[in-house]
Structure 1
Amino acid sequence: MKSQSPPPSLDARYSGISPRLVKIAQNAKDKLYSNKTVPESVPRRHGVRLPPDTTGEAFDEAIKALRKALGEDNVVLNDKPLVDGWYLEHPNTHDAFHLVDQEDLVSSATAYPASTADVQAVVKWANEHGIPIYPISMGRNVGYGGTAPRVPGSVVVDLGKRMNKIINIDAENASCVVEPGVSYFALYDEIQRRNLPFWIDCPDLGGGSVLGNAIDRGVGYTPMGDHFGAHCGMEVVLPTGELLRTGMGALPGKDGADNPTWQSFPAAYGPYSDGIFSQSNFGIVCQMGFHLMHETGHQSYMLTFPRDEDFPDIVEIIRPLAQKGILGNIPQLRHVVQELNVTGHPKSHWYSGPGPVPRDVIRKHASQMPCGDCAWVFYGTQYGDETAIKTQLDVIKSAFSAINGFKFFLPLDVPPDHYLNDRALVCSGVPVLRELEWLNWKPNSAHLFFSPITPTRGRDAQIVHDINVRLHAKYGIDLFPTLCIAGREMHYITNIIYDRSSDEEKRRVNALMTELIAETAREGYGEYRTHLLYADQVARTYNWNDNALMRFNETIKDALDPNGILAPGRNGIWPKKYRGKGWELLAGDDRIHKAIGGGTIAPSRATKAKL
């Protein structure tokens, strides 16, 4: 395995890796690159992708004006080779995990503001020149579209590079205020540097933006796993350039200082407006407050269950344990096939035949692993003092004993490199990199997520699981389900892994994703988050009362963004400038299928005329 160039360190770059993880990051990068069969980049077929309805001359004049506002070096044209990179060295020009042609969902340029005032200047510039902008925090929204703008030719506004300050950590209030470029790695390291008794709550990977993940309603695994629910206060630039502070921040502080209650109480007086800035294109969040968790005792553990058909019974047992608060965190329930792919070994290590890995092959390999020959693996963590944790675990083991053959493991029961030890870190607020390992499953690996919500009931979970099993088999794709389970709902997250160099494979993935969305929606289950190419299809499944929710969102969008410049199409919300003119990608539209082979998702003149 050839050693690649060292990954960036957090000491040198805001988006880098914590020094404690440099060796692990180097190994992860080396593994991933050893599984590549395509060059790092190929010559581009086209030059700069212009924004819609913009001439080259008008674009050049606009870029000249933007450089004057931000500085010459802080506006960069997207005219160089497109490099997919990897997690810690990802592009901000396109989706590193491109499903369609690499040159389709690309920006025209990238702008790097350094302050809220700079963001306001960019927004006013976009209104003046009629050019769409697409803000990103750090661009690590991998599996959901990365940094790609929904409208090709948009100017990406990269907030992370120059807006990456931890503005405040209030030890008395157990809260913090951060800018978009602050990663989980950075926030964790700063808390450790100050020797403060706090935990952060991080998702599976720690390189993403704390702010960005929260406004996309991402989840973690401690008792504060609802990241948007843990936020308190925002500073937002509206699509006209006006500045807004939400919650108690709307009340001026004494002598021009910030209100001292801003990070203490999330609402203000009147309507609670924060929610409209999550998963939307109604504003650019430039600062955000968060509550922190006090450190506490904890114990992670693993349960295994022997039969595939145990699935609904496991869910039924989890529900009352979660509702009563006995389960200490947001646990994961994973199919045993995930024990294979999280080792970092490629699929060929386990199986060299055609199609998905057969169940008997999975069983054979699992029997040689710490989990043993099982079907489902449950990862949980309990919190409190030693006595409380023992009592909780006794209750949990008693409840799961109803499933014949279940087994219980502590971290000391498995090897140091087993996944359980990484879960123990994540569930105690320590960001890690382990989830990168499953990207080695395929050469040139990429992935997207299918993420519906179901009630925490066995019959509902089984319906969604059965749809996944049937459709993954239909399209010959390995099924990797992870369920993040709370007392009343579950995130059923399917990780669809594909070779980004194979057009044939990507077409199967697209067909699978399209059918999964449609079939689960017919049963009454919708996604909580999706890849940008499927945002329109998912948004249209929430169509109760003649699409009342979408009509409401469009009303807000048109009021706040009359010129339609801010992230048009993000999460399926289109401004009137684009609406109904062929930009929407709905079920039955074959543009994604065609764009995989070098076409475009942008509407043609014929499409616009027909609509």
Structure 2
Amino acid sequence: MSSIVPQGVAASDFSNALDEFAGVVGKDRVYVDEQPLSSYRDAYSPLADGEFLPSAAVAPEGVEQIKKILKIANAYKIPIWTIGTGRNFAYGGPAPRKSGYVMLDLRRMNRIIEVNEKYGYALVEPGVSYMQLYRHLRAIGSKLWIDPAAPAWGGVMGNALEHGAGYTPYGDHFTMQCGMEVVLADGEVIRTGQGALAGSKHWQVTKHAAGPQFDGMFTQSNFGVVTKMGIWLMPEPPGYKPFMITYEREEDLEAIFEITRPLKVNQIIPNAAVAVDLLWEVSAKTTRRHYFDGKGPLPQSIRKQIASDHKLGMWNYYGALYGPPPIIENNWKIVEDALMSIPGAKLYLDRENDPAWDYRVRLMRGEPNMTEFSIMNWIGGGGHVNFSPLLAPNGSEALAQYNLIKSRCHDHGFDYIGEFLVGWRDMHHILMIMYDRADEAMRKGAYDLFGVLVAEAAESGFGEYRTHLAFMDQIAKTYKHNDGALWDLHQRIKDVMDPNGILSPGKQGIWPKSMRTTS
């Protein structure tokens, strides 16, 4: 049995709470032994082993059990940490924000409640993965596409709640969310939007209802436990044209996004186009040690050799066009003329025996897969953490941010491995900090690098949209307009909605009153 007890909870009270949890879900669904609890750790963490470990886990099968679990947690003031599929890797995975929390594991709640072909949506529970939903749609003969994040095992609901993104025209997952069912800390169950109407016929058709909209309040927060969520799905288009363009120079990044911005804002390129750096792209095919066994960032001569060997650029741009073939071909002429105007650009409409190309082509048409996890082989040792600042689709801004981040990576002995993903009027910049977790110095270097990047990005006016557990407090403090008024508001809401502070304390830097002095 785990020797960890939640902070501030007497051992006898904790034991009583576990017994009561077992009375709700069954003894076999309350996990207290080391072996099952080991699955609730961040296997890729930049922290030392022994950080962020749960005291126990409880796995309900439905809303009624969740209500009873929350009643027990309130009675004993047990902090719980909610996960859906638990696949939020690079950001903390299934681990809790602090050691000692009890995991509220919703993976058993994995029903696809409805698929509506006419209006193009699904209603799902927290444990539904992208692959599960994809296979279900294929099994029922649906012509709807999902929009998966990079790894197929991720959760449809969890990724949307974390403001995640994908690569089809439906790539902004929270924008495509419509309607939630939420269990509040006191056990009350609410439905947002039209779901609040008794007998509603259109819960997943429109986000709007009378009064304020609360859906966003339950994303990246600890104000409730989301148990159902609607997600809009893309009807299969009559045509699909994926493409890849390689660019020879790092500084081409500026021109790439100056050209891309009007194409995206005007929806000529409708999907989430992405510029992938050389090392991220090649990691699907080879490893660093194949080219270089030294320490520190790769020499430029090695980078050029990699690009030559694999017919890649310093930047590798993927996008796709969708719709009736005549419209695709009309728009393609505009896209091709614009993006091929950069000297040295090379266009690919197919690449034989290239797993990276195959992966992107599948992803941009809504086929989930696990190819991107091959990036773990680039360094070996599995460690990775994502630094994820936001910026505009502005060429000079993108290049400046890239140069800043690359410089800090090199200062700390790391390669820059990243991609820029264009939404509509925004961009996500995803930096993958790779390290061997068995190398203590390398792991600590990754942690230190991340902290530096948070501070310097904020000084330059860039904030992160998502982060690892270990950096939630630091990033929350960078949003400091008017002495941090926004996070003050978060915590005022927390105090009203969850006075005992039981729901995911510290999530996104939102702490209950009882824990603020120790956070």
Q: TM-score, normalised by structure 2?
A: 0.98
Pairing 1:272-351 to 2, within 5 Å after superposition: 272-296=213-237, 297-343=239-285, 345-351=286-292
**Pick aligned residue for 1:575 from 504, 508, 512:** 512
Aligned-partner residue type, residue 173 of structure 2: H
Q: Which letter does structure 2 place at the counterpart of 1:406? A: A
| C-alpha contact (below 8 Å) 1:135/1:156 kept by paired residues | yes
Is 1:187 the equivalent of 2:141? no
**Contact 1:331 1:378 (C-alpha < 8 Å) held by counterparts:** yes
The offset of 1:47, in angstroms, is 4.3
Distance across 1 between alignment mates of 2:404 and 2:33: 41
Q: Say which of 338, 350, 356 aligns to 1:399.
A: 338
Question: Aligned residue for 2:35?
Answer: 80
Q: What runs of 5+ residues in structure 2 fail to find an aligned partner? A: none
* SS of residue paired to 1:492: strand
Tell me the residue number matched to 1:108: 55
- 1:389 is aligned to 2:389: no
Confirm whether residue 97 of structure 1 aligns to residue 44 of structure 2.
Answer: yes
Aligned to 1:43: none
Q: Which runs of 4+ in 1 moved over 6 A?
A: none
What's the % identity of the aligned pairs?
A: 37
Q: Is the 8 A contact 2:221 2:507 kept in 1?
A: yes
Corresponding letter in the other structure for 1:244 = I
1:376 maps to a residue whose letter is: W
Quote the residue 2:348 is aligned against: 409
Q: Partner of 2:310: helix, strand, or coil?
A: coil
TM-score normalized with structure 1 length? 0.83
Superposition map of 1:144-543 within 5 A: 144-160=91-107, 162-253=108-199, 259-296=200-237, 297-343=239-285, 345-371=286-312, 374-411=313-350, 414-543=351-480
CA RMSD of aligned residues (A): 1.3
Q: Note if contact 1:48-1:79 (Cα within 8 Å) is conserved in structure 2.
A: no
Structure 2 counterpart of 1:290, which letter?
A: I
Q: Which residue of 2 aligns with 1:38?
A: none
CA deviations on 1:450-504 (whole Å, 9 max, x unpaired) are 0000111112112211111110011001110100013421101101111111221
CA contact (8 A) 1:77 1:109 kept: yes
For residue 74 of structure 2, give the secondary structure of its aligned residue in structure 1: helix
Q: Is the contact between residue 2 and residue 32 of structure 2 (CA under 8 Å) also seen in structure 1?
A: no
Secondary structure of 1:80's aligned partner: helix
Alpha-carbon spacing, 1:545–1:78, altered in 2? closer, same or farther (3 Å):
farther
Code of the residue aligned with 1:307 in structure 2: it is R
Determine whether 1:53 maps to 2:8: yes
Equivalent-residue separation in structure 1 for 2:424 and 2:155 (angstroms)? 27
Q: Do the aligned residues in 2 keep the contact of 1:319 with 1:486 (CA within 8 Å)?
A: no
Aligned length: 518
Q: One-letter code of the match for 2:201?
A: P
Q: Could you say which residue in structure 2 is the equivalent of 1:16?
A: none
Shift of 1:309: 1.5
Match for residue 552 of structure 1 among 489, 498, 514: 489
- Segments of structure 1 that go 5 or more residues without pairing to the other structure are 1-45, 84-90, 254-258, 584-611
CA deviation vs aligned residue, 1:542-600 (integer Å, no higher than 9, x gap): 11111110011111111100000100001110010101x221xxxxxxxxxxxxxxxxx
CA distance in 2, matches of 1:231, 1:195: 23
**Residue type at the aligned position of 1:561:** D
* Matching residue within 134, 141, 155 for 2:88: 141
* Matched-pair contact (CA < 8 Å) for 1:94–1:102: no
Q: Secondary structure at the match of 1:462?
A: helix
Which residue identity does 1:456 align to in structure 2? P
Flag the 1:120–1:81 CA change in 2: closer, same or farther, 3 A: closer
Superimposed CA distance per residue, residues 328-366 of structure 1 (whole angstroms, 9 cap, x where no aligned partner): 2001101112232122x3321121122121121011121
1:82 shift after superposition = 6.7
CA-CA distance at 1:54 after TM superposition? 1.9
Counterpart of 1:194, as a letter, is I
Q: Is the 8 A contact 1:439 1:445 kept in 2?
A: yes
Q: Match of 2:390, as an amino acid?
A: I
Distance 1:391 1:437 in 2: 36
Shift of 1:231: 1.1
CA contact (8 A) 2:77 2:500 kept: yes
CA distance in 2, matches of 1:522, 1:72: 51
